[in-house]
Amino acid sequence: MKTFFSLLLFCVSGFLGVFAQGYQQTESGVKITSQGMDVEVTFYSPSIVRVLKYPTGKYPDKQSLSVTMQPKALSVNTLFTDGVVSLTSTHLTVQLNLETGKVFFKDLLGNLLFTEKDYGTQFTEINYPSGKRYIVRQAFLLEPDEVIYGLGQQQGGKMNQRNQRLFLRQENMKVCIPYIASVKGYGVFWDNYSPTTFTDNRQETSFESESGLCSDYYFMYGGSGDGTVAQMRLLTGQAPMPPLWTFGFWQSRERYKSQEELLNVIKEYRRLGIPLDGIIQDWQYWSTDNAYWNAMEFGNPEFPDPQGMLDKIHAQNVHAMISVWANFGPKTKPFATLKEKNMLIPVDTWPHKSGVHPYDPYHPEARDIYWDYLDKGIFSLGMDAWWLDSTEPDHFNIRDRNFDLPTYLGPWRDVRNAFPLMSNKGVYEHQRAMASDKRVYILTRSAFAGQQRYAANTWSGDVDSRWDVFRKQIAAGLNFTVCGIPYWNTDIGGFFSHKLYPKGIKDDAYKELYVRWLQFGTFTPMMRSHGTDTPREIYQFGSRGEWAFDIQEKFINLRYALLPYLYSTAWDVTKNNGSFMRALFMDFPQDKNVYDLDNEFMFGKSFLVVPVTDPMYVNRDREITIGQTKKQSVYLPSSDWYDFWSGDRIAGGRQIERETPIDLIPVYVKAGSILPLGPEVQYATEKKWEHLVLRIYPGKDATFVLYEDENDNYNYERGAYTEIMITWDEKEQTLTIGERMGQGFDGMLKKRRFIIQLPDGKVSKIVSYSGRRLKIKL
């Protein structure tokens, strides 16, 4: 009997011990009830933690639209002390206060990384016409001088996103992603798709969403800018390889009004010997009647032979992209099919008051229907790429936003900001399922977290042709790519030019703006000329010997010389979660002078680019005056640098003045870089890289991985590619070209020559390479 009571007492005390602590151990975390809510902390990986909070007993049955990662069973050490449960993985510690429900994060040394505010979670019940929801608010505390980036693409020109209030709802020119990344090496993704207000002030940093059932965010610790991007990609998906040709030059206009006009553009580029890889057909190829908006077929009589047009484009080694929208006119076949199945969202969109409505991209069958018409009407002709326009989408009727309209996933308010993610998803997944010989490539006007997995390159929208707007694109693009989406670009020259430049290309003031914008575009993931009012083809600006023509030709040719660097950087993005446009804190985290620079960036890991974003050479009479060279102030981060144009070596960690004649912008190469340069070509695949320049920038040890594959299919996913690791040993002054790695591919070069250059462009040595390791003493 005594033994029985002793055993009973042991069991009861053990039972009370677990529940007295007030938490429940889960497979990869803990769960508690506190302050009228359930709190779940779950490790998705040693570096990624999900924090989910909801009113007690009201578990939200939520499937994330952005997050693709699933939690895995992990070995997490749990310790309970003084009302706080601590969970420690191999990378960080998460602590949860059982009384307040507050969560905070520390590194393994015990340093505080990020913390919620005490009692910072709020659920305010609201009765929308579509049903009951909560306004969900989560507040955090940052260090007073902590610098953060992200929030998608905003047009305020700010690099550091502190001390502001932003309303995050998708619009033209405004991409809203509720994500922040800190210079301390962590990122936070607020997983809510309704319109959300971000606030940062002295009291707190918070996300407040108009509709939700829970507070749901992911904390990612990468330890650095690159590490945080890698964690975001691990959480939301990897970026596939674009085709090689997409890194060439693109010409576009709003719009080519006939197939003859479009074909003549290509003909003129080829006649002039100006490289070109992509041509874009904008809207109204379907009809000029808005009732047939986005019919997904050629109905305009000015395009009488679309198949013949595509064949002629391809015969000249150019690729075609076409504008496709997320909405349909009332007389189109897709509209009729979608309306019958109740798969339209009946709001007023562009074109305004034309009866055009967006489709419901949240519905799997609606995405099937969308692709079916796109395939039969356009893809089957041999179209190469998609311009998915208005993927926010445009939404008029400001006073009556109709956010209570139903979608497949519930009220539109609940999923509003994820519209571009789902729309791009439909096109990507359907083309991938249908064709493996042609990589999906999408140009799109909006984005949401995770969109990198759908081969989408987002452009900054219909921006004005103004110098101040031009400069703001730099910060907009850098903050966007910090969110883990590497491919971004902008309309070279700005979309709307007529407001300030009614004479267009006849105005020297516009020419100066355009060539400066094009110089910037050379160092973005997609070099694309586009706009309305003013035709942008190079020959519109004059002919050879005229400054506006010659500068464009110079930078277009530079773009093609950089193709080996660009394509290898793309591989680094896909394989190693790298980035093209890099905010300077990513490469110089200890240099606080770079934290808020809004007009400089790294392009890949070698180039420092400083676009010229102020007019210098147009006088008050709007005439060009290039006789006296002007200068621009440049901050060189803490490193040694080489002037790309002169080869001069310059010490960093200081401000300098660089002469900026109209035909160049400040570009520097980091000491300890290896830069591969390709041959002169008229299109990306015209010549194989049989004679490849390797320009060595000494000063530090350097490594570069040269990547090659079949350029435009998915065989690389099965190993059909090669890598050549090239290293520079600074101490030994020795270049090593490593053994060619990988299983190889059809058309692979078995032999080639490397022309080794110094920073001034002078040839040092020429070596033959057949795939075996070479060591060259310089």
In b/e form, how buried is each residue of 105-124, taking b as 16+ CB within 10 angstroms? Answer: bbbeeeeebbbbbeebbebe
Cα(63)–Cα(214) distance, integer angstroms: 12
Largest CA distance in the chain: 108
Per annotation, catalytic residue among 107, 375, 462, 553: 462
For 264, residues 6+ apart whose C-beta sits below 8 A from its C-beta are: none
Respond yes or no: is residue 709 known to be catalytic. no
Tell me which amino acid residue 386 is.
W
Count CB neighbours of 440 within 10 A.
22
Helix H or strand E segment including 487: none
Q: What pairing do the DSSP bridges indicate for beta strands 215-221 and 103-106?
A: unpaired
CA distance 444 to 387: 6
Q: What is the SS3 assignment for 558? A: helix
Quote the tokens at residue 283: 């809207």
CB of 326 within 8 A of CB of 357?
Answer: no
To which H or E segment does residue 425 belong?
helix 419-434
365 is catalytic: no
Residues whose CB falls within 8 Å of the CB of residue 710, separated by 6 or more in sequence, listed in order: 716, 720, 745, 746, 747
d(CA 678, CA 672): 20
Non-local (6+) Cβ contacts of 415 within 8 A are 65, 193, 194, 362, 407, 409, 422
Q: CB under 8 Å to 586, separation ≥6 — which residues?
A: 224, 225, 226, 229, 579, 602
Annotated active-site residue 462? The verdict is: yes
Q: Could you give the CA distance from residue 636 to residue 655 in angstroms, rounded to a whole number? A: 6
Secondary structure class of 241 (helix, strand, coil) = coil
The 3-state DSSP class for residue 635 equals strand
Per the listing, tokens 């994060």 go with: 105
Q: How many CA within 13 A on the CB side of residue 188?
A: 26
Q: What six digits make up the tokens of 552?
A: 């464009």
- 8 Å CB contact between 641 and 606: no
Q: What is the sign, positive or negative, of the torsion defined by CA atoms of 427, 428, 429, 430?
A: positive
Contact 284, 324 (CB under 8 A): no
Q: Which of 282, 392, 508, 643 is catalytic?
A: 392
> Which residue of the set 116, 208, 254, 389 is catalytic?
389
Whole-angstrom Cα distance, residue 767 to residue 10?
Answer: 79
Structure tokens at 334: 């897709």
d(CA 744, CA 750): 10
* Sign for the pseudo-dihedral over CA of 67, 440, 443, 489: positive
The CA dihedral of 523, 527, 531, 537, to the nearest 10 degrees, is 110
Q: Are 451 and 420 in contact (CB under 8 A)?
A: yes
- Find residue 215's DSSP bridge partners: 53
Q: What is each CA distance from 220 to 217, 478, 483, 580, in whole angstroms?
A: 10, 19, 12, 21
Report residue 234 as tokens. 């691990």
**Catalytic (active-site) positions:** 389, 392, 462
